[in-house]
Structure 1
């Protein structure tokens, strides 16, 4: 695949980085710059496992390439440690928006769990306010530099704690002040959305949208619970929905696939899948199909008409960007600009925005792709 003088991938002669993108599944504590970690850690007296930003970035990549979501999540201990103060949270959020702009993102949703940022005395509201301040600073800096970006918060509750209803109320209280949706994160296997049904009932009563991590470290029952108990409008990863598809033979050059009730529902209702290719490899989410990107069911789901979107999950842990994820998919599955645009349009249609603003976002993408 052609590369230009700046190291950017070219598709159809067009810079992939320059194309407008939508990022839906992007963790704040998974996207902290290694250089920022070192700076904040030094100020707070926190030990780091590497002496400089390049070495620390390599350490994250090694630790994250474990094939286990549980082991993968342990790398967050370091990023969380430097995100316990107002100053740390604001700095990380501002950097985060700047990195989205550099990646060509025009609309992003950043997810994070405020309950994990209280050890230095912040309240839940303090934490959300600090992140919102950083987002605003990043958006303002982008505007001053001639770039247009909007970033909304997805307030997450940890699925293995007992604060989900409290966090749901927090998210709703920040509606129209930066919060655009709710999520649950943390260890999926053994902690189904049904445990948090009270929180999801409350969100539904407030007409506040939720995306739910499901189908990453657990299977079809987790996805079913996300839809039934969580009223999920999107599936965080959702890659294991492919386990509900059965090869049914060939008819000429066409592969025949038999849908289960769950997969058909997800496909026919166009419930977006927040797929994160590199992360899905690192955490073993696609282990049932193989260990290489070519084994990822992404293309199967796309060809069958699922509403697939492309995401980074955790930029630091996977040493990646949205541009890189799209380039990897294009190289592996021979995608062209039309395919790349389709993924962005799927994401724009799935954004937790009013319909008028989704239409505007779709227009931005269409214009950026030359339509």
Structure 2
């Protein structure tokens, strides 16, 4: 009889979690080694600076500064916590965007373009609707829904060409990314939303707090004072739960996953595969649009409209978030917070040591590469479990043959033949 603990370790979900944790742990170890090498090779850092850098990699979120003697101090840091949750909000939603596409057998590398279209729609609605005549809360809802809709429409384009023309969605997403970047730049270049009041800035769009349209704090600023956190993180968590229910508990979610597992078998079973491919990309695009909406509706962030030179990193960072979470919607919340934590750690290293924040970019890069190999790690864990099961079967004693009863039967009431 198998023990309950062994059954838990053999579960597919447990193996996915272990594979992700191993990827994260190896990434942090590699980052620590790099910090040690850089510190030992730099006279201004030395072994003390290297040790401080390693501690910040693992505990930077809880760093509170330095004491009178110059030693690092650690404790609960509400400002860092709040900023981490704020930065995690768009990462959670772009991670959900990529995860939904993964579940349906598609690779949504078009999240940056969908994010940009959601940004444009959100800001134009939030800044264009007069807050003197329309309540700010209603404008917020309209802008948020407009961003979701814009992202969904942009996500439909790769879905349509994949479903009806069988064009690879990766190629279509790359093209739509750059089309969106140039389109958004053109739209804002001729608009009245550019920040012309602050002469020290150029190419920036007004914050939504300019006309009083921003996401309410919902009391989170009292829990995490002096941080950027707002109610957007709660909205992101609710959306993650809704996506989980959609993908795991509904007929539509089953059909989407069936198309991802085998499109032709799903069609044979009567599932509209083309419709579901388009719908999955629309849902993914809507989630990326929601990420942009919550980020720029916060009221404390500015959009740099000349984005045609580069794509927003938030869209691409959703890929490792989804990979580390094994495309599980609830796990995406935690992996999004982890990737956001690394950003905070980078800032802490810049402020408290002579290292620069790009050290954490190296760590993130290592984790991204390892997250792509998390499936391989999961397969290794599965193979190890199978070998253990096979060894257990070989060492288990064979069942003893039943003895004949005194009346010539097999002892079970039947004939002994």
Give the TM-score range, shorter chain.
Answer: under 0.3
Indicate the structure with greater helix content.
2
Q: TM-score, normalised by structure 2?
A: 0.23
Larger CA Rg, structure 1 vs 2: 2
Larger relative contact order (Cα-Cα within 8 Å, sequence gap ≥ 6): 2
Q: TM-score, normalised by structure 1?
A: 0.25
Indicate the structure with greater strand content.
1
